[in-house]
Amino acid sequence: MVEDNKQEGIFLNGKGQVIKMLQSMEINERKNLINLIKKKNPQLANELSQNSVNFNDFSRLETNEIINITKYIHPTILGMALKNLPVESQRKILTIIDKKYAEEAFVTMNTFFKNQDQNIKRAQNKILETLSKIKKQH
């Protein structure tokens, strides 16, 4: 009986587990898998694509997508979210966006905050939520 419940739990949350799996994959592998799913179920593939973005992929987004997010996210949130990304990714993002916005984000990146790890995760999640909402609108 207990084993049946475990299997049912896995089955019931199958989509959530697939999303977590996709988030841990390299971006090209993820795209290939989603394209295979798209052939059988385009709606599911679209949903998985929107929800499987990993914050480490943020710097790999198209330039216009990065610029667009700055219309919806305060620079301090972006600065906090960028804190634990590799320097190359930080530099790429900051050079793409508006100079004044980038300077404000940079100040946040170089400031230490209490509960910093928790705040970084919250900022990254906020950006991912916003990206998902933008993609759903288009």
* Predicted confidence (pLDDT) at residue 10 exceeds the cutoff of 60: no
The confidence score (pLDDT) of residue 12 equals 54
The confidence score (pLDDT) of residue 62 equals 85
Q: What is the dihedral of CA 100, 137, 90, 110, to 10 degrees?
A: 60
pLDDT, tens digit (0-9, with 9 covering 90-100), for 31-67: 899 999 999 999 988 888 877 877 877 888 889 989 9
The confidence score (pLDDT) of residue 98 equals 96
Decide which of 79 and 29 is more confident.
79
Cα 40 to Cα 14, 27, 29, 33: the distances in Å are 17, 21, 18, 12
CA distance 10 to 109: 39
Enumerate the H helices of the chain as residue ranges.
2-12, 14-24, 27-40, 42-51, 63-69, 75-82, 87-96, 99-109, 116-137
User: CB within 8 A of 109, min separation 6: which ones?
Assistant: 79, 80, 82, 83, 90
Q: What is the pTM of this model?
A: 0.72
Structure tokens that stand for 116 in this block: 């910093």
* Predicted confidence (pLDDT) at residue 21 exceeds the cutoff of 90: no
Q: Which domains does the chain have, with CATH numbers?
A: 1-52 (no CATH), 54-138 (1.10.220.30)
